[in-house]
């Protein structure tokens, strides 16, 4: 099978040369740009399992969802 290279139409050298400071400046200048996804962003984010929100405790830590329990006690002897 012949191997073909696809032309991207992007200047990858320019992209590789872009610094983090330049990226941050571009994000700040363009209101339509999504925010930078930092560790702080994810620490403050809500966490869902399916459609259930996982609550946070007073210290801000995620707690596991509460599940109902069932205990069967036999009265037969």
Model pLDDT, residue 62: 60
pLDDT digits (tens, 9 = 90+) for 36-62: 788 888 877 888 888 888 766 655 666
CA separation for the pair 14, 8 (Å, rounded): 13
Element (H, E) at 40: helix 39-44
Give the sign of the dihedral formed by CA 9, CA 13, CA 16, CA 21: negative
What pTM did the predictor assign? 0.35
CA separation for the pair 33, 24 (Å, rounded): 10
Annotated domain spans of the chain: 37-64
Element (H, E) at 17: helix 12-17
Phi/psi of residue 62, each to 5°?
-75, 140
């Amino acid at each position: 099978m012949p191997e073909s290279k696809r032309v991207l139409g992007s200047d990858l050298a320019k992209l590789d040369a872009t610094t983090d400071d330049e990226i941050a400046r571009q994000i700040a200048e363009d209101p339509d740009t999504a925010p930078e996804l930092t560790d702080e962003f994810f620490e403050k984010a809500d966490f869902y399992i399916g459609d259930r929100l996982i609550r946070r405790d007073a210290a801000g830590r995620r707690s596991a969802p509460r599940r109902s329990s069932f205990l069967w006690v036999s009265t037969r002897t």
